[in-house]
Amino acid sequence: MESDSIECVSSIDEIVEDHEIPHHNIQHHPHPRHAPHHQFSSSKPHHNGTNNVNSISNIVGPTAIAPAASVHELLECPVCTNSMYPPIHQCHNGHTLCSTCKIRVHNRCPTCRQELGDIRCLALEKVAESLELPCKYYKLGCPEIFPYYSKLKHEGICIYRPYNCPYAGSECSVVGDIPFLVAHLRDDHKVDMHTGCTFNHRYVKSNPREVENATWMLTVFHCFGQYFCLHFEAFQLGMAPVYMAFIRFMGDETEARNYSYSLEVGANGRKLIWEGTPRSIRDSHRKVRDSHDGLIIQRNMALFFSGGDRKELKLRVTGRIWKEQQNPDANMCIPN
């Protein structure tokens, strides 16, 4: 049986490469077991400052967070290690934990094993109300400081929070900044890297009816100083088998809106064209696919574009990325 392949032609670099696509469905890649220095874990600050607790309300930045950090440790649940929010519970011996973990430990103190009862630690709740802390992503560049109860909400949407690995077809748990993830995609997932904002891919499948619910991350493009991911999927849309291609932006949602892209597929005097805005990798590839935000080609149409006896799929997808701006030369693609 003929191997599946993708032929990648960069219209900037004039590079022609053949890429083998496996017959089986979604690929599960092993997770890296070590964490390079770019990878992020807890950002809880540790500092040996000498300021006393009375100066907590005067904190103005990460360089002055020492007392807040020590108090923040008091507000860390010993079970889940997350910050505790009212109601904060304690046992008869004064050990505290959050309300969620109180249920998980079956009302037994995880420290001394005494029954917890329904005792609230009102003093610690008062301390929490008076506390202001920097965002836990301050080491990644966030300058914001928040009241204790506003901090958690901000951290859920902070633009400096690390990104999840955008690789499609695996449950990769790696997180990091964009430069780290680009290296991770190249080295661990073996994704092709290209410089330039135009592309030309040819997808070949000897028996297209064998492929259902398959997904591939074809290429990462570097253009305009940014990185973009090209995805290609085969799945069922209702009762109809379809193929879908779309681009994601390796950055935040607000930055993604500065760019647009087009995808085109066709043959025999017919073609389909899609134009849109790349979605941020903050949105998972599954979320983008399920929203149908990309070029969708029904299998019968894809086979028509392939020509011949329609038993083999030969689908050529071309595309272009450009930056949206007022400059009349905005659509010019300048190699990096």
Distance CA 166, CA 214 (A): 16
Please state, in angstroms and rounded to a whole number, the distance separating the CA atoms of residues 153 and 145: 12
pTM: 0.65
pLDDT value of residue 332: 53
Residue partners of 250: CB distance under 8 A and separation at least 6? 163, 166, 178, 181, 182, 220, 226, 227, 228, 229, 281
> How many separate helices (H) and strands (E) can be counted in the chain?
8, 19
Q: What is the pLDDT of residue 304?
A: 86
What is the predicted pLDDT for the residue at 5?
47
Helix (H, G, I), strand (E, B) or coil at 237: strand
Q: CA 233, CA 236: separation in Å to the nearest integer?
A: 10
Per-residue buried b or exposed e for 279-310, using 16+ beta carbons within 10 Å of the residue's own CB: bbbbbebeebbeeebbbbbebebbbebbeeee
Cα 293 from Cα 246, distance rounded (Å): 7
User: Which pair of tokens denotes residue 40?
Assistant: 């992020």
Q: What is d(CA 27, CA 231) in angstroms, rounded to the nearest whole number?
A: 14
Q: Which domains does the chain have, with CATH numbers?
A: 71-156 (3.30.40.10), 163-323 (2.60.210.10)
Beta-bridge mates of residue 7: 18, 202
Contact assessment for residue 169 and residue 215, using Cβ atoms and an 8 Å cutoff: yes
CB 202 within 8 A of CB 6: yes
Write down the H helix ranges in the chain: 66-74, 99-104, 122-130, 148-155, 178-187, 253-256, 285-290, 299-306
How far is it, in rounded angstroms, from Cα 53 to Cα 70? 9
d(CA 136, CA 79): 19
Tracing tokens 């929070």 back to the chain, one arrives at 161
pLDDT along the chain (336 residues), means of 10: 43 39 38 38 38 35 46 82 83 88 87 86 83 83 85 87 87 90 94 92 76 76 95 86 93 94 89 95 90 92 80 86 69 49
Q: How far is the first Cα of the chain from the last one, in angstroms, to the nearest whole number?
A: 40
